[in-house]
Amino acid sequence: MSADQAAREAPGAAGQGTTADDRGATFRAVEGGNQMQSGEKLLVEAYAFIWIVVLVFVASMFRRQRRLDRRIETLETALQKARAKSGGD
């Protein structure tokens, strides 16, 4: 057996690290808690988030529309007063 073959068979030998093929072919379990989540739960959370964003957007547009309506009424009233004032002179 040559030195190259020995180094490939024993990746940790002679100060060499593991190769990419060695890392990809082995399985190492991750230590820790249960990080799995149900796909159904994630789907419901995503839909809830989207509905909340849509409702906030619609409420914002409703408030802006009411402000614009009030502003238009104020401007129309001012315009009528100005017309009445100029027509009466």
Question: What pLDDT, in 10s, does the model give residues 4-56?
Answer: 555 555 555 444 555 666 666 777 766 766 667 788 999 999 999 999 999 99
Task: In whole angstroms, give the CA distance from residue 54 to residue 60.
Answer: 10
Task: In whole angstroms, give the CA distance from residue 29 to residue 21.
Answer: 18
The pTM of this model reads 0.50
The predicted pLDDT at position 13 comes to 47
With cut-offs at 50, 70 and 90, classify the pLDDT of residue 83.
Answer: very high
Half-sphere exposure of 36 (CA within 13 A, CB side): 3
